[in-house]
Structure 1
Amino acid sequence: MQTKANTVSEIARVLKTFIGYLKRPDLYPELGRKIIKNTINRNGAFKGKEKTNFWASARAVSQEEAVSDLFGTSILTFREDFKEILKQAEQNENECPIKMGGPGALELIFYACEFTKAQHMIETGVAYGWSSLASLLSLSKRNGILYSSDMPYLAQDGDKYVGCVVPNSLKDNWRLYRFADKESLPKIFGENKIFDVVHYDSDKSYNGRMWAYEELYKRLRKGGVFISDDIGDNSAYQDFCEQNRILTTVVEYEGKYIGVFIK
C-alpha cells in the first residue's frame, strides 16, 4: 500500500518533471506524446506482454551462447581485458547520487561491435553509460563514432551524471544527443545515415518501440547487428521480427530478455 509520504513524493516528482518540460520548449513535442501515452494509450504500453514472454522464454539462450553462435567468439576475456576500466566505472556509479539504469549485457554489445568492425554505432538510452562504455571500448580501436540518444532526466538533477562511467579518454568518439528519440534520431541521421550496430534501450512503450525499430532497422547495414533490451515489456520486438521475417536470437540476462540479430 502506498503511504502518504510516498504519494506526496510521487506528486512532487511529477510536478518537477512537468516544470522541467515547461522550461524546455524543445521538449514540448515529447511532453505532448507523454500526456497521450499516459492517458489515452496507457494500456497499449504492455500490448502482448504475456505472449512475448512465453515466446522469449521458449527460445532464450545465455549471453555466452549468443556471442559464440552469432559472432564466433568467447566472452571469457572481456572482464579481464578491461578490468581496471570496469572497476573505475563501477566506482563512478557507486559514487553517483542519482539512481539510473545499471549495466546490461556488456559483452553482447562489445562483441557485436568487434564482429562488425564497427565504425558507426547508434544507441538509444544512456543513463550511467554502461552500454556506451562497452561500445566505445571497441569503437575507439578504429576511431569509430558512437551516436547516443538520451532523454534529459527532468524529475531529478541527474543530467550532469549521464554517462558518468565513460572515461574522458573515450569521449572524443562519442556524440550525445539530449532529446527524446523522435527529436534525437533525425538529428543523428543528419550526421550519419548507415550504422554497423544498433542498440535500443529507451522508450519502452509498444508504439515507441515500433516507430524506432523501423527507423533504426532501415539504417542498419546488411551484416550489421541489431540489439534491443527489455523485449519482454510488450510484444513490439516479436511483432517487428515476425512482420519483417527476421530470425532473431533471444538472450536471457538477469531475468530479462534481450533480442539480437544480424541483418
Structure 2
Amino acid sequence: MNEITRVLRTFIGYLKRPDLYPELGRKILKNTINRNNAFKGKEKTNSWASSKAVSQEEAISKLFGMHAGTFKNEFQDVLKGAEEREKVCPIKMGGAGALELIYYACEFSNAQHVVETGVAYGWSSLAALLSLKKRNGTLYSSDMPYLGQNGDQYVGYVVPEDLRSHWKLFRFADKESLPKIFNENSSFDVVHYDSDKSYDGRIWAYQELYRNLRKGGVFMSDDIGDNSAYQDFCEKNTIDTTVVEFEGKYVGVFIK
C-alpha cells in the first residue's frame, strides 16, 4: 500500500466515524500549524536520557527490588503463543516493548487497576494482564482504530482469550478515552503511556495520568526521546525519574 492510498483510507475511515471527528481536527492541526512542535527539544532530551540510562534489568532491581530473569521462563508458553499470533496477523503494527518492566511494575504495586495508552498487537497489555489476573484486577486501555490499514479488529491480537475478562478496551483517541476511563475508575496503581508521540499530546496525557496515579504507584512512558515532553514534565514536577535504554529507545519510569 503506498502512502497516498493509506492517507486516503485513513481520511475516509475518519469520515465514517463521527465519534472520531475531534481527533481528526487535532491531527490536521498537528500536521500543519503545529508540525514543528512535534519534535520540540529532541536533541536536548536524547542527551539527557543517554546520560541517565540503565538497562531494563537494572531498573527493575533498583526500583522494585525484583529479579527480571524469571518472567520469560514463567510465561514461556503464553509468550510463544503470542509470537505465533503476531506472525499470522495480516497487518503490521508496533512490536513488543519492555515487557518485563511493565510486568514487574504491576507485581511491585500489587496492581488492581492499570491504565495504558496505545495497544497495537497488545504486547504491553499482555504483560500487564499476566500480573493483573493473579489479583482479579482490570486493565483499562486506550487505543485509536487502525483506520488506514482496515485493521481495527486486530488491535490486541496477541492477548489470549483467558485474559480478556480482565480487560476494558476504549477505542478512541486519548482525549476521548481517558475521561471515560477515569469516570469508571479514578485511582490507578500503574500507568503506561505509549500513544500520541507529539509534544502537546504527551504533556496533556502525562498530566491526566499522573493526577490519577495513586501515591506509590508506577508511571511509565515509552519513546521519551521523541521530544522533551517527558523530561520537561519531570523537571516541572520535581520528579527523579529512571531512564531505561531498550532496543535503541528510551523508556521513562518512576514511582510517585
TM-score interval for Structure 1 and Structure 2 normalised by the shorter chain: over 0.9
Q: Pairwise mapping of residues 59-98 of structure 1 onto structure 2 (< 5 A)?
A: 59-98=52-91
Cα offsets for 1:189-228 (capped at 9, x unmatched): 1110000000000000000000000000010000000000
What does residue 161 of structure 1 align with?
154
Quick check: 1:149 aligned with 2:135? no
What does residue 225 of structure 1 align with?
218
Whichever residue aligns with residue 205 of structure 1, its letter is S
- Separation of aligned partners in 2, 1:262 and 1:248: 8
- Separation of aligned partners in 1, 2:57 and 2:165: 30
What does residue 206 of structure 2 align with?
213
Aligned sequence identity (%): 77
- Separation of aligned partners in 1, 2:27 and 2:113: 30
Classify the secondary structure of the residue corresponding to 1:196. Answer: strand
What does residue 193 of structure 2 align with?
200
What does residue 249 of structure 2 align with?
256
Cα offsets for 1:165-207 (capped at 9, x unmatched): 1000000000000000000001101110000000000000000
Moved over 2 A (4+): none
- Separation of aligned partners in 2, 1:20 and 1:39: 20
Classify the secondary structure of the residue corresponding to 1:250. Answer: strand
Classify the secondary structure of the residue corresponding to 1:121. Answer: strand
Whichever residue aligns with residue 185 of structure 1, its letter is L
Q: 2:102 aligns with which of 100, 109, 134?
A: 109
Q: How many residues align?
A: 256
- Separation of aligned partners in 2, 1:113 and 1:209: 22
- Separation of aligned partners in 2, 1:166 and 1:36: 34
Structure 2 unmatched ranges of 5 or more: none
- Separation of aligned partners in 1, 2:41 and 2:195: 19
Classify the secondary structure of the residue corresponding to 1:148. Answer: strand
TM-score normalised by structure 2 residue count: 0.99
Structure 1 residue 53: deviation in Å? 0.0
What does residue 3 of structure 1 align with?
none
CA RMSD of aligned residues (A): 0.6
Quick check: 1:241 aligned with 2:234? yes
Structure 1 unmatched ranges of 5 or more: 1-5
Structure 1 residue 157: deviation in Å? 1.3
Classify the secondary structure of the residue corresponding to 2:189. Answer: strand
What does residue 45 of structure 2 align with?
52
Whichever residue aligns with residue 216 of structure 1, its letter is L
Whichever residue aligns with residue 207 of structure 1, its letter is D
